[in-house]
Every structure is written in C-alpha cells, then in structure tokens.
Structure 1
C-alpha cells in the first residue's frame, strides 16, 4: 500500500471588488441638498408636533395649573428683562472685539437689540457692528523732520561715544 500525500495548495485570493467611482462635485452637492431638505422636513415636523403637544397640554390643564404656568412665564419674562441689557451689552462687546472695532455701549438704547424671546438678537447686533467705522489698519508713517538723514541739520554734533555725553545729549543738556 502506498500512501499518497496530499500537498495543500495555497488558497486563491479573492478578487478585490471594483473600486467605487469617485463622485464629482455636482453629485456631492446634490447629496448635500437632499440631506438638508430631509433635515428641514424633520425639523418642521418636530415643530408642528411640539406645538400640538403644547396645545394638548394646555387644554388638559386645570385652572390652578394654568395659573401656575402663567406665573412661570411672567417670572421668566421679568428675570430676562433684568438681565437682557447685560446680555445685549456682552454680545455687542464680543462681536465688536471680533470685528476689531470699538462700540460705545453707554449711550445706546440696548433694548432695541432684544429679540422677541428677551435674548440678544445677534443679527441686529451684527448689523450695528457692520455700520461702525473701521479703524485705520495702516496709520500714516510719521514724517521725519529735517530730511531723510539720520540726524537733523543744525543739531548738536557729538564728538565721542562716551555714555555720559550721549546721555546728556539725549536729555537735552540736562543731567539725567
């Protein structure tokens, strides 16, 4: 009897899948627009559902619960009215600092920058900041008196590099 030896063969590697085609800019933009539209649709549905839920909650409230909810809303409004101008001032300072301008807040009617919810309206603040004059980025170069040389004509000539004499010359002849 002869035994046959079976020699194992290395497995055949699977063929790699074909590379996916690289999408072009138009296809990518279409995909982005599709997801934005879906997001807007979902947000709209959520807002509608939230409004419906609030309506149902209010309809099922007792008179005491309605009074409590009204008191909470009034308290929130009063609290925001106390802090609102500080919030607006902080928003103006932050946006003016990022724009590189100075905004005079002490003479402004800060209530004009409030949104309906009592918070700072960033769009109104941004419009105000955009209307402010921009600082001069490159101040004018100071003119050198007496020409472009390193010393003024008719100035006091110095004869030595003695530190005491130079200090007297800089101080205008006075002792430092």
Structure 2
C-alpha cells in the first residue's frame, strides 16, 4: 500500500476545502481588510495612549522636582526660624544680613528637617549676649551707670566756693 496523503480519503477532503477557499477570494479580501483596519485602529489607539502616558510621566517628574524644591525651601526656612529662636533664647538677636550669609543647609538633617543640635551648638559658639539696659543710659540727668562710684570732679569743691 501506498501511504501518500493523496490516496487517503482525508487528504482529498482537505484539498477540496483549500480549493473552496481559493475560489472565495472576495470574502477573504474583505475579511482581511476588516482585520487590517481594526489592527490600524488599535495601533492608533495604542500610540495615542502611549503619548498620553509619556506626557503624564513627564508632568509627574516635573511636579516631583517642584515638590522637592519646595520641601528644600521650606526646610531652610524652618532652620532659619529655629536659629533665630535659639539665639533669642540666649538673649541675642541675629541681624538679617548675618543670617542671609549663613549656609543654612548645614543646619539640616539628612531627612530634611532642622537639626536642633547643630543649631544650638552654633548659637552657643557665638557666646552670650551682653544684657542691654532696659532704659536709655547717659541722657544727661546726672550720674548714670552701674558702677556706683561718683564721677571724678575736674574742679575741686573749694574752688567753686571761692568764686
């Protein structure tokens, strides 16, 4: 017996089906065109969605950078306020020009918060402020001051009496 596929009854029916498909070419073309158009539409939707995703990713990165900058600025402001407060507790007042020349990022911890230990260490290195008198001194109303000794007289008392 010959075992070729053309001699079997199944092979002849497959050949007939192929022949039938070849004869129905207008239907195949319309189906192929349909699937091609659906594929193109899906591809266009995919490209639009990809572009939208890229735009959203870029916007997200931009917002994240802006947020990081704002957090850094906020942390520097917080460090400045803590520095002024620590100086005020020691009786000192820091001039705005002096504070503006300081590297305030040195007073920040790694997580972006104010490092109170570094601030207190810096303020204590400045020394203590001399207490200013509450009232104005030397306004011409007589002896002033805290030493308690009378002022030196340039003219002896007896010389004034001789006039």
Q: TM-score range by the shorter chain?
A: 0.3 to 0.5
Larger radius of gyration: 2
**If the length of structure 2 is used for normalisation, what is the TM-score?**
0.40
Question: Larger relative CO (CA 8 A, sep 6+): 1 or 2?
Answer: 2
With the length of structure 1 as denominator, give the TM-score of the two structures: 0.38
